[in-house]
Structures are given as C-alpha cells and as structure tokens.
Amino acid sequence: MKASSVPRALIVLVGIAGAMIVLFGLREVSSVAGPLVLALVLVIAVSPVRSWFAARRAPAWVQVAVPFLILVLVLLGMAGVLTIAAVQLSTLAPAYADRFEQLLTEGRAYALSLGVSGEQLDRTIDSFDPGRLIGIAQSLLGGVIGVFSSLFLMVVLLLAMCLDAPMTSRVLASGEGRSVALVEALGRFARRTRRYLIVSTVFGLINAILDVIALYLIGVPLPLLWGVLALIANYIPNIGFVIALLPPATLALLDAGVREMLLVVAAYVVFNVVTQSFILPKFLGDAVGLSTTVTFLSLIVWTFVLGPLGAILAIPLSLLAKALLIDSDPAAAWAGALISNRAVSPPAGATSRRSGA
C-alpha cells in the first residue's frame, strides 16, 4: 500500500511562503545583495575577455587583472558621470518653477474657455507635480549612485569573483560532461545573461547617442544627462522607455513649449520603440526566454526587493532564479515552458512508450 503523498496545494503554499521569506530577507540586506548581484553580472559580462587570454595560455594573473581593471574603469567612469548628472538634475527643477506656473495658468484659462469646471481643474492641478517626473529620473540615478557609493565593497567583490572565475569555469566545464542539471542550468544562465547584456548595451548606446543628438538639435538642456538616463533605462524591461522619455519631454515643455515637447516624443518613439520592438528581439532571440507577463512581474518584484537597482537587474535576476529553481530540475520543464510561452518537446523515452502503446 502506497503512502499518501503530500497534497499539491500544500506544496504550492509552502513554496510561496518560502519565496516570500527569501524576498523579504533579501530586501532587508539589499545594501549588500544589490552590489553582490551587480558584481556577479559584471564578471559574467567580461568573462569572454578572460577566456580569450586563457585560450592563448596567458599567465593566470593576466587572466584576472585585465578583466578586473576593465570593470574598475567602467565603475569609476559610471560613478563619475552619474554623480555629475545627479548634481545637475538636483538644480534643474527649481529653475523652471516660474515657467511651470505660467503654463498652469495658461492651461487653466484654456480649459475654462472650453467649459471645464474650475473646481475640477484645481483638484487636477493640485495633484500634478512636475517634480515627480524629474524625481523618477533622480530616484533612478540616485539608486545607482547609492550602489557606487559603496565603491570599496564593489571593488572587493569584483576582485574576489575575478580571482575565483578561472577555477569556477573549470569546475563548470568538468561538470558539463556528466550532464549535471544544475551545472548546465548555470551555464545557460551565464550565456543568456552575457548575450542579453552585450546586445542591450550596444543598442542602448546607439539609442543614447541618437537621443543626445536629437535633444541637442531640438535645444533641450542637458542632453548628455538624458542620454545617460536613456542608456540606464534601456536595461529596465517594459517601462524603461517611458522613464527615459518623461524627464526630457517635461523639460522641453517647460523650456520651450508644446512643439519642442512633441518633437522630443517623436524622436524617442522613432529611436527607441522601433529599435526595441522590431530590431532588438531579433538579436536577443532566445537569450531571455521569459514571457512578457513574467518580465513585467519580475520588474515589480525585484524593484520592491532591491530598489532602483533591482529594476535594472530584473532580467539577470529572473534568469538566475529560473536557472536555480526550474532549469536545474528536469521535472520542472513544464514550468519553464509556462513562463517562456514555449512548448516543450517530450522526452524521447516518453514518445517511444506512447507510440508503442
């Protein structure tokens, strides 16, 4: 007589409870977890450099030092640019307070001429604050700067991971021949994350350069700042384009008028929406392997856990969770198909058994 199995509903509830405990625990240590994940993603991104030196039998210290120096230079450059951008952004909004009041007055008069209730207009005006739009960009930049402010911790983490990278790579390579599910899942995670980062960075730089040129020609102040914001927001799925668009569009409205604001919106739509909707998916291919719904939910969850940095790292974090919880377990293949909206081919044995039945 078979022992009674644990009810599936109980397994699901315990799993959800465990996930909530882990997420809230990560949220409490986000000041450490955020830099740790960022360091892991950066080391994965530069691993081809180490592999290139290893293939040419370069000394071990070269395989460690060159990727480490590349990452440190990138961190220092980003920290400098973001710090300058945050300072400029903090002094930007007060300069346009009078212009904003003038636009509100003109808009209110126009709405009243159309027969809109004055009381309703006052409530709408009181609930709208342009500082919130600028604050979105400021919060995003501030969250990233908060990570870079712990630069010593980042450098130590990067150095430790770069030192461990050659040994970790050899361990993973030796495990692939034995078809260990977890090893294979981690290998796929690293490859998908690296491809996602490379492709997103290339297209993010292209979009940022085009945005800076367009903003400069339109005459929007601080075009370089908005280009940096566009590059960072390119890593945020689903809503990154909106986050990058709102601050410069609002600034164009306050600085010059509706025509310039519409020109900014049109330029961003042409450069970003077309690229991210039609070109980028063809280059990424199966690198992400997450459905649109799962991507959006991961954005919400990881932003809640790690703040603005979680929004930027939402895709790599979701890929890591997928590798550990789903890809490493052959019995969970159905879940992988569910979150990626792809059908899973049945195992060969199962096919033969059905055909022979």
**Residue 54: pLDDT band by 50, 70, 90 thresholds?**
confident
Residue 327, pLDDT score: 80
Residue 73, pLDDT score: 86
Q: Which two tokens stand for residue 257?
A: 């008028």
Residue 70 has pLDDT above 60, yes or no: yes
Judge whether 318 and 302 are in contact, CB under 8 Å.
yes
Mean pLDDT for the stretch of residues 36-57: 84
Residue 274, pLDDT score: 74
Residue 176 has pLDDT above 70, yes or no: no
For 184-241, the pLDDT digits (tens) are: 788 888 888 888 888 888 888 888 899 899 988 988 888 888 888 888 888 887 788 8
| Beta-carbon count within 10 A of 174 CB | 11
Residue 83 has pLDDT above 60, yes or no: yes
Question: What pTM does this model have?
Answer: 0.74
- Type of residue found at 313: L
Residue 219, pLDDT score: 85
For 120-163, the pLDDT digits (tens) are: 555 655 555 555 555 555 555 555 555 555 677 777 888 888 78
Q: How far is CA 272 from CA 94, 232, 286, 296, in A?
A: 29, 13, 21, 18
For 157-166, the pLDDT digits (tens) are: 888 887 877 7
For the chain, give the longest Cα–Cα distance.
83
Q: Which of 67-71, 72-76, 108-112 has the highest mean pLDDT?
A: 67-71
Residue 352, pLDDT score: 42
Residue 196, pLDDT score: 86
Torsion of Cα atoms, 332 then 336 then 339 then 343, to 10°? -120
Q: How far apart are CA 69 and CA 246, in angstroms?
A: 35
Hey, is 161 helix, strand or coil? helix
Q: Which of 49-63, 90-104, 170-184 has the highest mean pLDDT?
A: 49-63
Mean pLDDT for the stretch of residues 327-349: 63
**Residue 256: pLDDT band by 50, 70, 90 thresholds?**
confident
Residue 138, pLDDT score: 56
Helix 223-233 × helix 60-90 angle, to 10°? 130
Is 8 buried (19+), middle (13-18) or exposed (0-12) by CB count in 10 A? exposed
What's the gap between Cα 216 and its chain centre?
A: 26
Q: Which residue has the higher pLDDT, 113 or 48?
A: 48
**Residue 110: pLDDT band by 50, 70, 90 thresholds?**
low
Q: In degrees rounded to 5, what are phi and psi of residue 88?
A: -65, -40
**Residue 284: pLDDT band by 50, 70, 90 thresholds?**
low
Residue 356 has pLDDT above 50, yes or no: no
**Residue 351: pLDDT band by 50, 70, 90 thresholds?**
very low
The residue assigned the tokens 């882990």 is 22
Judge whether 148 and 75 are in contact, CB under 8 Å.
yes
What is the DSSP secondary-structure string of 62-77? HHHHHHHHHHHHHHHH
**Residue 325: pLDDT band by 50, 70, 90 thresholds?**
confident
234 backbone φψ class: left, alpha, beta (φ>0; ψ -120 to 50):
alpha
Mean residue pLDDT of the chain comes to 75
Q: How far apart are CA 306 and CA 324, in angstroms?
A: 19
